[in-house]
Amino acid sequence: MNTKAFGAHAGDKPLEAMDITRRDVGPHDVAIDIAFCGVCHSDLHTVRSEWGGTKYPCVPGHEIVGHVTAVGSDVTKFKVGETVGVGCMVDSCQHCASCADGLEQYCENGFVGTYNGRTSDAPGHTLGGYSSHIVVDDKFVLKINHPEDQLAAVAPLLCAGITTYSPLSHWKVGPGQKVGVVGIGGLGHMGVKIAHAMGAHVVAFTTSENKRQDALDLGADEVVVSRNGDEMKAQRGSFDFILNTVAASHNLDAFTSLLKRDGTMVLVGVPEHPHPSPNIGNLIFGRRSIAGSLIGGIAETQEMLDFCAKHNIVANIEMIDIQDIDNAYDRMVKNDVKYRFVIDSKSL
Ligand code: NAP
Ligand code: ZN
């Protein structure tokens, strides 16, 4: 199917309109008319080749929501007209130990990303949600149970939501725990909402003084401006868990020193340049850990969507037309987004 899309031909070129082809609907496929697509910082890292390895043309977008227009002959879980989502993955090997455990994001043979992933479809790598339609294997399609009028604000759950829900859930965050969320951007603002809904005492860490009141409104119990030494000092040794979503290289010691004995800081941000090596003393004295976490599996993504529907959680969004995408990226780099851009696919 000929499909309208927006993408870049090189890392230093702006995104532009392009026509792409979606494969014919196979027996296990679901064809989706995309209504909205969130704008993740990973889109920017990829399209500008900040991580290297970007294949062009690059059509980003992995926070996709829309409606089913066709299903393959073997598809039983989805019907034409249903509201569905697609996140960061569109395939995985389905036979390794991680896939067997429902952790497709850790597929030992490499999951297939929604964009920049391997595929036999033209042009030889996957093309994402900055497009009008997509065809996806039914195992990687999610059901959306939020009210239809919240659909645009549901889109960011497909990456920002699951990337924060998964570590909060894996490390069993809940009542009686003090939890920090560092970086109040697309991921971080979801982390605050979800950790609050899980019952934790939530402290938001931001470099942006102007996000103080917002962070409280998002559900934080306290806000710390991390550039303020005295505010940071007051939090020393008090956290069970810290979720660090910062998209840029920074000093991790400022946060490991805030953990209690046996506390863990999970990094989900993937900055272009590495963080300075952390102080090992901070880890040894207190048996503290630094860990990482990657998005979430398909079953867990459905669990997160259902959790958010039940707790009435959606993202705080600013809707844009696709033609404004480069400006949106520039604003994202300046931390000037409250708190996720979402593309109205009608503008394609
Ligand atoms: P975002 O909306 O740009 O938010 C990042 C936030 O980090 C900013 O809003 C800002 O918050 C803070 N920040 C930025 N520069 C900083 C600096 N120099 N020092 C301290 N704080 C800084 O980005 P996002 O979409 O949430 O993505 C965050 C990162 O996670 C990206 O690197 C992205 O690629 C990565 N990611 C990882 C996964 C995964 O599976 N692990 C999934 C999706 C995204 P304040 O204004 O509050 O300081
Ligand atoms: Zn993402």
Model confidence pLDDT, tens digit, residues 81-131? 999 999 999 999 999 999 999 999 999 999 999 999 999 999 999 999 999
Check which CATH number belongs to the domain holding 244 and give it: 3.40.50.720
* Same-domain status, 153 and 175: no
Domain count, the chain: 2
Token digits for 320? Answer: 């844009």
Token digits for 186? Answer: 């697309």
pLDDT at residue 252 in the model: 98
* Same-domain status, 53 and 148: yes
The bound ligand whose nearest atom lies closest to the alpha carbon of 164 is 1
> Within a domain: residue 305?
no
* Same-domain status, 223 and 86: no
* Same-domain status, 334 and 214: no
pLDDT at residue 308 in the model: 98
Q: How far is the CA of 216 from the centre of ligand 1 (A)?
A: 19
* Same-domain status, 251 and 136: no
Which residues make up the environment of ion ligand 2, defined by Cβ < 5 Å?
40, 42, 159
Q: How confident is the model at residue 155 (pLDDT cuts 50, 70, 90)?
A: very high
pLDDT at residue 199 in the model: 98
* Same-domain status, 169 and 132: no
The bound ligand whose nearest atom lies closest to the alpha carbon of 211 is 1
Mutate to test the pocket of ligand 1, among 170, 216, 268, 341 (most ligand atoms within 8 A of CB): 268
Q: How confident is the model at residue 77 (pLDDT cuts 50, 70, 90)?
A: very high
> Within a domain: residue 298?
no
The mean of the pLDDT values for the chain is 98
Check which CATH number belongs to the domain holding 319 and give it: 3.90.180.10
Phi and psi, residue 162, nearest 5°: -70, -35
Q: Which domain holds residue 124?
A: 2-159+315-347
* Same-domain status, 193 and 205: yes
* Same-domain status, 141 and 166: no
* Same-domain status, 112 and 203: no
* Same-domain status, 15 and 107: yes
Residue 328 C-alpha from the chain's centroid: 17
pLDDT at residue 75 in the model: 98
Distance CA 109, CA 93 (A): 6
Give the E-state strand segments of the chain in sequence order: 2-7, 16-21, 29-38, 64-71, 83-86, 89-91, 112-113, 133-137, 142-143, 178-182, 201-206, 222-225, 239-244, 259-267, 289-292, 317-320, 340-344
Q: Which residues contact 190 (CB under 8 A, 6 or more apart)?
A: 156, 157, 160, 161, 163, 164, 165, 313, 315
Q: How confident is the model at residue 144 (pLDDT cuts 50, 70, 90)?
A: very high
pLDDT at residue 331 in the model: 97
